[in-house]
Amino acid sequence: MTTAFSFLLAVGLLVFLHEMGHYAAARTVGVYVERFSVGFGPKLVAWRDRRGCEWVLALLPLGGYVKMWDDAAAGEAPALASPGSDFASKSLRARSWIVVAGPLVNLVFAAIAFTCLAMIGRTEPAPIVEQPLANSPAALAGLRGSDRILEVDGQAIRSFSEVRWHLLRQAIGRGEIRTQLSVLGSDGQARELLLVVPASTKAEEDPEATLARTGLAPESRAVVITRVLPGSPAERAGLLPGLVILGADGVMVSRPDELISRVKQGAGAPIELEVVETTDALSHEEKPGTRRHIRLEPARDSSGSPRLGIGLAAATELVERRAGFFEAAWLGVLRTIQTAELSLKAMGRMLMGDLSWRQLSGPASIADAAGQSAAHGPLAFLSFLGLVSVSIGVLNLLPLPLLDGGHLLYHFFEWIRGRPLPEAVQRAGQRIGLALILALTILALASDVLRFFGPF
């Protein structure tokens, strides 16, 4: 239910903003708007304002439209329309402004969302790396455990999330990673390293998988309990979320996989955990007098594997990222530009066959992402809205008839020729655009099916 509500809220809000851009631009140049609809199909709610515009909330929320009076197409003028207020009579510049305003509002909203997130701030893992696996690209580059990444390609780094974003942009845009790192070792020595991850021979590889192949991970100091399942051995033993596990059976553990491995190796035998409370969520500093040993006996799940009934995460050093207004505004604009650039590069690589079409997200994937982000809180949901808003803006600017970018393409040819394209040419373009959009929709739906249900 949360997923469906979050999806409808996200789509409804972003569609409303997009169409409001068209509506507001039309009003600024004196075009009469007959209808503003969020959704398609039968009307759920409708009312008419004093200017004669009908505002509609329709049954199918996946889209919307603004219907403007077009004297050439509609014939008789609406009762409240003034002379010269039809769309076709306006200058090329005015009509182009109306068309571009929708995607522009989506991009502006994304920049505002990212600006707000930068001003509010959040805690993220520090850019300190775990000892990479032998022969991984990170190890071959010369990275060692406890190295702190200071710069990536000359850009100052404040958190591990910034490192991931920089590398992910390369993985999506180029399929390979080749980046210069400035690091500070635990011995205080600075080093310059070159991290290289060759492109995969498989086009269907997810860019996240390319990122995982680097071997980079934030350094884990201990293991933190994120949740405790009701009725589990952990609950009966008194374990609580937020406790940090330092060791198991007298052996220090610093990563979740180490603890999981010890539980499995014990084959269900009782295990003694050394746990401690922390005073500071950022540094995981130990709270005096809280260290204790807890003995518990794992339970068996349906497959017979031993389980403690706890969720685990790496206890990394954390940093708090927060920016002032002007810095946050710049970061918001920069993140919007970078995200739009990534979207275009990904589309280009799909067209060239270098990136699998399975990376497309259909309604089910978007709904799932909406639900997951909403479950992580309002800031995560705001970040999701920003990303989707960029996607809507970029998609609508593609030069395909039926999309805003297609109308701008027609306007471009009209500017070149000095008159509109012939009606026959425009109708042919509309049919081609419709076919391409339907093909894209089918691919996105197929991608959803394969993502959630696997191949047939």
Which residues are tagged catalytic?
19
DSSP 219: P
State whether residue 156 is helix, strand or coil.
Answer: strand
- 345, 172 Cβ separation under 8 angstroms: yes
Strand partners, 191: 183
- 57, 15 Cβ separation under 8 angstroms: no
Q: At what angle do helices 2-28 and 92-120 cross, to 10 degrees?
A: 140
Structure token digits, residue 221: 């100091």
DSSP-derived pairing of the beta strands 292-296 and 271-276: antiparallel
Structure token digits, residue 13: 């809000």
d(CA 399, CA 344): 12
Buried b (16+ CB within 10 A) or exposed e, 353-388: eebeebbbbbebbbbbbbbebbeeeeeebbbbbbbb
How far, CA to CA in Å, does 31 sit from each of 83, 88, 104, 384, 390? Answer: 10, 9, 19, 34, 27
- 229, 310 Cβ separation under 8 angstroms: yes
- 36, 23 Cβ separation under 8 angstroms: yes
- Residue 72 has phi, psi (to 5 degrees) of -70, -30
How far, CA to CA in Å, does 376 sit from each of 6, 95, 371, 381? Answer: 12, 42, 9, 7
- Residue 184 has phi, psi (to 5 degrees) of -120, 115
d(CA 14, CA 86): 27
d(CA 411, CA 341): 24
User: From the centroid of its chain, how far is CA 17?
Assistant: 19
Buried b (16+ CB within 10 A) or exposed e, 114-123: bbebbbeebe
